[in-house]
Structure 1
Amino acid sequence: MTDLRAALIPAPDARRVNPNFITDVIDADLQSGRVDRVVTRFPPEPNGYAHLGHAFASFLDYMTAQDYGGVCNFRLDDTNPTGETQEYADSIIRDMQWVGWDTSRLFYASDYYEQLYSYAQELIRKGLAYVESVSGDEMARLRGTVDQPGTPSPYRERSVEENLEMFARMRAGEFGNGEHALRAKIDLASPNFKLRDPVLYRILHETHYRTGSAWCIYPMYDFAHPISDAIEGITHSMCSLEFIDNRAIYDWLMEHLFPEAQTGRTPPRQYEFGRRSLEYTVVSKRKLRRLVQEGVVRGWDDPRMPTISAQRRRGVTPDAVRAFAAQIGVSRTNRTVDLAVFENAVRDDLNARAPRVMAVAQPLRVTITNLDGARTLSLPYWPHDVIRDSADGLVGLPGGARVTPEQAVRDVPLTADLVIERDDFAVDPPKGFKRLTPGGTVRLRGAGIIRCDDVLTDEGGTVTELRVTLLGEDAKASGVIHWVSASQGVPAEFRLFDRLFTVPNPDTEAQHFDPEEPGHEDEREPLNTDFLRFVNPQSLAVTQGFVEPSVLRDPSDTRYQFERLGYFWRDPQDSREGALVLNRIITLKDAWAKEQTKAAPTREKREQPRGEKAEAAPAAPTRPALTDEQTATFTRLQGAGLSENDAHLLAREAPLLAYLDGAPDMAALAPWVVNDLAVALRDGTNKVPREALADLVALLAEGSISARIAKDALAEAQASGEAPAAIIERKGLRVLNDEGALRTAIQAVLDANPGKVEEYRGGKKGLTGFFTGQVMRATNGQADPKTVARLLAALLDS
């Protein structure tokens, strides 16, 4: 292998696509000299909008090429005028550009129509193709069965001259749809039905969105796709697994039309990878079209859809989409990906970019009876445990941005008239309820503790207003809730999106078989395959509420974390000045909210599909059913102290269970396995042994490290293979709770910010968050938050 070819193979830590069987092939091809440059292509058909499955396929095509210093062509495979439109083509190009791919090498299969026609004529001249004149049904019959070879068509031995003449007449439009077709002459006895004289061209009098009515014959995918690859000089043609049988046609065409001995160029080869589907959705374009056409959703960009346009409108970032595509892995088998993989990629991305503000989606009015006039609180945009260190006086934010300390906080008006979430008050609270109750207390985020003195109701008994007293800081409260000023907050519409289907696999769940019909279930015809019966009518809830006024100063594309509600941004189409519309991008991980969903019917106003009457809300989406063996495992795990959610997931997923089972303290390790190691365990890339995880959790339990330190160490261990505890020891990442050292650090922060200290002592108690963040940065995030809070209060109030 030449030095040049050696240089094309990336080092393992330089690859953006994890090593897989395709990269193994490419490595071998470069080493052997079969190719000296890698050229891939991404070839979607413009018969619908691109979806998250295309995000994975495009990532594989583009990133593989980039890893090897090659190029990736972007080709719209537009050989079927039925259903293909300029709208779809434009949307796919726009979406791929948004994801981050270079679309400058843009090609269309329709650009090759004349060349494809010439290659078809070449096959005819070689005696390898003929014009078929039997009907489609007869053609199917003549192909034979699994047990019987095909029967030659009476037109299979037409002369070359007659075939060329008939093919020319087909192109000239002398025949109607279906009267004739061009077939390859391969092998009617082949066990691969794809080789039993496949159709290469069909007559179709349809207007093409690019070529108009210039053509009335159109090449089939199996003919146009490999030849387009060869024309463009593609070296490695990657496609999904359903085309594995089609590869025989691909190779046959390369052998007869692009033999290396004649062309002097190595022809492309096809490699199949397993498709990736997502739980709680569908990615078939035909089914996505049904959702649009039947009014189940508002269009291809409805934020509930799995299309890239929809995710962009919902507020997902291209960084999150690429991160998701990078995580799910390449294999030779089809796989349905846990929706949590995508959701966690979105959460991880937003956590690093979304400032924290307050909003109330289902408001309940609250009046503070002892507050005269309005106050302005200074509250931090970012919690102290996510702020990165900075050496130049600036605040380093998680996403890499750097702002002044003043820019890291915002002014929030506190007035006597507030709104809180209706679910944050209960007249008859359930066990464990830590929010507001009659006569009870709760802390308003950044504003102090209130006590509920009076509850006002309407004639129907619905609570309409709470009257509360603002207490001093010496009061005690077990919970914290968010709030917004009713008079100075900004009215907004909140669109709360949820999963589009109520079952993980709406395609397979819809299949119910006739128990009286003999034969294996997989061979029987489903009685009902209508996936629409599993559409979740609660996939969109629309509420009217308030958001704090600071959002009006921010750029329109700002993503927020609304405390305890989720991540939101402004709908780019419907939001305008004076009419703020906020889309929920994704929820937070809130176990309490999940339990409340099970326990009580929602009060949210649900939007029904157009043309349908409102109906009673069904139960929340259910988990996949367990087998008897899984049920026994689930029961055993719960007996070991695991939560219901963790036990259910582990009982279903063998790799996760195998890793955890038998650990001395499974209950302590399970949340880390489910939330932090699941992807690596599923993909077989985990580098953290169970004993190493147990050591990490033990350090956390004894208070030696914080949860943030634990997560950071675990992430580094997963990348490097070093034990998390060793990383913590090497970097000295223990929690700092020495009061003397902390008092010194706090005093240094107060001395550096005398103006802020004066504002705090003048009534701006919200600055506590600012001071805490400064202390955490000064101690590299290692200070014990509880000790900091206690010492900070003592020093500020002294």
Structure 2
Amino acid sequence: MNNKIKKYSNNFIYHIIDKDLKKNKKLSLHTRFPPEPNGYLHIGHAKSICLNFELAKIYQGKCNLRFDDTNPIKENIKYIHAIQDDIHWLGYNGYNNIYYASEYFEIFYKYAKELIKKGLAYIDELTKEEIREYRGTLNKPGKNSPYRNRSIEENIILFKKMKNGKFSEGQACLRAKIDMSSALMIMRDPVLYRILYTPHHQTKSKWCIYPMYDFAHCISDSIENISHSLCTLEFQDNKNLYNWILKNIDILHYPKQYEFSRLNLEYSILSKRKLNILVKKKIVLGWDDPRMPTISGLRKRGYTPSSIQTFCEKIGITKQNHLIQLSLLEHCIRKELNENAIRTMAILEPIKIFLYNLHENYEETLTIPNHPFHAELGTHEILFTNMIYIERKDFQEKYDNQYKRLKIGHEIRLRHAYIIKAEKIKKDKNKNIIYIICSCNLKTLGKKSSNNKNPAVIHWISVKNSFPAHFRLYNSLFNIKNPEQEENFLLHINKNSFIIKKGFIEKNLANDIKKNSIDKKIKLFFQFERIGYFCTDTDTIQKKYLIFNRTVSLRDTWNIKMKIKTTTNN
């Protein structure tokens, strides 16, 4: 059993497929990923993409990309392009063609007429509100529409009139004739076709009637010879309608539908409708805002295809709905970047240090490793001079015995360099700190201080070797764990989800980034020591300063939680 099979062999869908293929040697696995082009894909879709495409790879089968484009009101060609880009970026280009449900509109229409001719569908002229009222509730059965017993001939004529634009929107619809007293709401004469006078992105104005998703989806699966139709648990009841439609029309292939739990992620909304609200209300900067759980947002933030695939493998495929820890997603990218991100120093909130005992022209070049554990990643040079920047939070003016960084009369080590000691503070007339005056012990490179102690270590950048940079710090968009459950999720927006810091990086690094960023598609990753993992932003080369997006912080809380949980269980 190879590694890929091992990763998927512990989920129940794998076992179902394995059993089906062993039972029927002529059966070939054929899955599909069928997004509706009414928004961008999010991390929940990534779970389904990975499942469908990886299973097809494992069993040397096929996986179709099919756009279930049956609602022109909400759909847009830009979403189709974005979805294709996301799937390609994730590494799945294995489909032969792109399919559209709209390619089958003539076939859907034929099957709809077949149901009418069998007395299993009728034209209803109740309003949308009346249909909802007649449907009943979970505790109260529905009642038949007064139009339910129309003759087959009359329904055929009326359906043709619908197709030819003789009704206005909402004036008529085609409904299945099943059972208005069914315990399943989905089986209480569901609507199969409705009238929409909206041009379609593929068929233009050819059609003014459009099939409902449930009607089109199962027939599309059959037309494409899908063997296993995999969907999330909210479609579990819909399977009854899926099977009812296929059973009552003249088709040659019967796909089987199987459901698994959808992805629910802490501090996130995974509903395209709600994500669209965030975009329209300009709470975020667009579908690809790095705070969004969309694939394009995660990509801009610095997540990689492999980190998302790893996350999807770790959460697994089950029938139990769980709220997945955001820290697990962060753990997956952090673990990857910990192995290959270049280590360097950056200052987000600068304060100056003047090393008074060094000459104003003093310069020293220090060579430091790009990674502490991977020598093959090479080294780079930094400049050490008598004027440097450190982080403002690394100096405290008021004495505090618990504070372990730079303070007056105490020593600190500069990362990869010397030990310095704070002597006094230079302020302007408004009592603002201009710089901190320190002494530098040039005998301490790689050695302990004179009192044989190892002081705390802070990062720094030479003022002479600095280049301006903006650091975009992204945090969770919501300040509660499960905003999906809230009636008004907009009340729980985290006001500190996006912060910009204006600081500096090393000039040599800036030159290298500009040199390698001529093609905007190249994203470079860094671990800014003691701060976090960052990537270059695509806006970088358009500015007089560089822009970095924080992908993830350094602290791995998921590992900590797992250790605590393990200890508790023991």
TM-score, normalised on structure 1? 0.66
CA contact (8 A) 2:30 2:63 kept: yes
**Structure 1 residue 587 displacement after superposition:** 0.8
Find the counterpart in structure 2 of residue 123 from structure 1: 115
> What per-residue deviation string (whole Å, max 9, x for no partner) do you get for residues 438-481 of structure 1?
11111111111111112122344333311111112152442111
Counterpart among 194, 203, 207 of residue 202 in structure 1: 194
- Quick check: 413-422 or 25-34, which moved more? 25-34
CA contact (8 A) 2:117 2:152 kept: yes
Distance 1:443 1:449 in 2: 4
Amino acid in structure 2 at the alignment position of 1:569: C
Distance 1:137 1:585 in 2: 47
Counterpart among 534, 546, 551 of residue 580 in structure 1: 546
**Structure 1 residue 74 displacement after superposition:** 0.8
Alignment of 1:581-600 (within 5 A): 581-589=547-555
CA contact (8 A) 1:18 1:329 kept: no
Any unmatched runs of 5+ in structure 2?
518-522
Distance 2:4 2:208 in 1: 51
Alignment CA distance shift 1:318-1:13 (3 Å):
closer
Find the counterpart in structure 1 of residue 357 from structure 2: 370
Counterpart among 270, 281, 301 of residue 257 in structure 2: 270
Matched, 1:17 2:4: no
CA contact (8 A) 1:184 1:199 kept: yes
- Quick check: 413-422 or 573-582, which moved more? 573-582
CA contact (8 A) 2:468 2:504 kept: yes
Find the counterpart in structure 1 of residue 512 from structure 2: 553
SS at match of 1:365: strand
Higher strand share: 2
Matched, 1:288 2:275: yes
Distance 1:590 1:274 in 2: 26
Alignment of 1:218-237 (within 5 A): 218-237=210-229
**Structure 1 residue 367 displacement after superposition:** 1.4
Find the counterpart in structure 1 of residue 129 from structure 2: 137
Find the counterpart in structure 1 of residue 520 from structure 2: none
Find the counterpart in structure 2 of residue 318 from structure 1: 305
Find the counterpart in structure 2 of residue 445 from structure 1: 415
Alignment CA distance shift 1:380-1:148 (3 Å):
closer
Q: What's the RMSD between the two structures over aligned residues?
A: 2.1
TM-score, normalised on structure 2? 0.92
Matched, 1:302 2:279: no
**Structure 1 residue 349 displacement after superposition:** 1.3
**Structure 1 residue 660 displacement after superposition:** 2.8
SS at match of 1:487: helix
CA contact (8 A) 2:467 2:545 kept: no
Amino acid in structure 2 at the alignment position of 1:581: I
Distance 1:255 1:497 in 2: 51
CA contact (8 A) 1:16 1:64 kept: no
Counterpart among 35, 41, 48 of residue 50 in structure 1: 41
CA contact (8 A) 2:4 2:58 kept: no
Higher helix share: 1
CA contact (8 A) 1:354 1:561 kept: yes
**Structure 1 residue 135 displacement after superposition:** 1.9
**Structure 1 residue 34 displacement after superposition:** 7.7
Find the counterpart in structure 1 of residue 501 from structure 2: 543
Counterpart among 485, 489, 504 of residue 466 in structure 2: 489
Distance 1:236 1:13 in 2: 19
Alignment CA distance shift 1:300-1:189 (3 Å):
same
> What per-residue deviation string (whole Å, max 9, x for no partner) do you get for residues 528-547 of structure 1?
x2111111111111111111
Alignment CA distance shift 1:326-1:13 (3 Å):
closer
SS at match of 1:118: helix
Find the counterpart in structure 1 of residue 249 from structure 2: 257
**Structure 1 residue 189 displacement after superposition:** 2.3
Find the counterpart in structure 1 of residue 439 from structure 2: 469
Amino acid in structure 2 at the alignment position of 1:302: D
- Quick check: 565-574 or 349-358, which moved more? 565-574
Amino acid in structure 2 at the alignment position of 1:571: D
Amino acid in structure 2 at the alignment position of 1:338: Q
> What per-residue deviation string (whole Å, max 9, x for no partner) do you get for residues 316-368 of structure 1?
11111111111111111222100001000010111122010111011001112
Amino acid in structure 2 at the alignment position of 1:168: K
Find the counterpart in structure 2 of residue 29 from structure 1: 20
**Structure 1 residue 576 displacement after superposition:** 2.9
CA contact (8 A) 1:35 1:235 kept: no
Distance 2:537 2:310 in 1: 23
Distance 1:214 1:574 in 2: 45
Find the counterpart in structure 1 of residue 567 from structure 2: 660
Alignment of 1:607-626 (within 5 A): none
Distance 2:17 2:459 in 1: 54
Distance 1:441 1:656 in 2: 36
Find the counterpart in structure 2 of residue 416 from structure 1: 386
Distance 1:34 1:184 in 2: 36
Distance 2:241 2:480 in 1: 38
**Structure 1 residue 315 displacement after superposition:** 1.4
Distance 1:359 1:176 in 2: 63
Query: Higher relative contact order by CA 8 Å / sep ≥ 6: 1 or 2?
Result: 2
Counterpart among 75, 78, 88 of residue 79 in structure 2: 88
Find the counterpart in structure 2 of residue 698 from structure 1: none
SS at match of 2:465: coil
> What per-residue deviation string (whole Å, max 9, x for no partner) do you get for residues 715-736 of structure 1?
xxxxxxxxxxxxxxxxxxxxxx
**Structure 1 residue 146 displacement after superposition:** 3.6
Q: What percent identity do the matched residue pairs reach?
A: 42
Amino acid in structure 2 at the alignment position of 1:483: W
Counterpart among 416, 437, 457 of residue 480 in structure 1: 457
CA contact (8 A) 2:279 2:286 kept: yes
Find the counterpart in structure 1 of residue 99 from structure 2: 107
Distance 1:353 1:364 in 2: 30
**Structure 1 residue 221 displacement after superposition:** 0.7
Alignment CA distance shift 1:436-1:35 (3 Å):
farther
Amino acid in structure 2 at the alignment position of 1:568: F
Amino acid in structure 2 at the alignment position of 1:570: T
Alignment CA distance shift 1:585-1:146 (3 Å):
closer
Distance 1:13 1:560 in 2: 29
Distance 1:190 1:411 in 2: 74
Find the counterpart in structure 1 of residue 154 from structure 2: 162
> What per-residue deviation string (whole Å, max 9, x for no partner) do you get for residues 37-60 of structure 1?
111111111111111111111111
Distance 1:17 1:173 in 2: 50
Find the counterpart in structure 2 of residue 636 from structure 1: none
Alignment CA distance shift 1:35-1:132 (3 Å):
farther
Distance 2:473 2:9 in 1: 35
CA contact (8 A) 2:331 2:556 kept: no
Alignment CA distance shift 1:148-1:418 (3 Å):
closer
**Structure 1 residue 11 displacement after superposition:** 6.2
SS at match of 2:289: coil
Alignment CA distance shift 1:13-1:227 (3 Å):
closer
Distance 2:459 2:215 in 1: 61
- Quick check: 297-306 or 421-430, which moved more? 421-430
**Structure 1 residue 485 displacement after superposition:** 1.3
Distance 2:260 2:564 in 1: 24
**Structure 1 residue 209 displacement after superposition:** 2.1
Number of equivalent positions = 551
CA contact (8 A) 1:72 1:105 kept: no
Distance 1:38 1:500 in 2: 39
**Structure 1 residue 585 displacement after superposition:** 1.0
Any unmatched runs of 5+ in structure 1?
1-9, 388-394, 398-407, 511-528, 592-644, 664-798
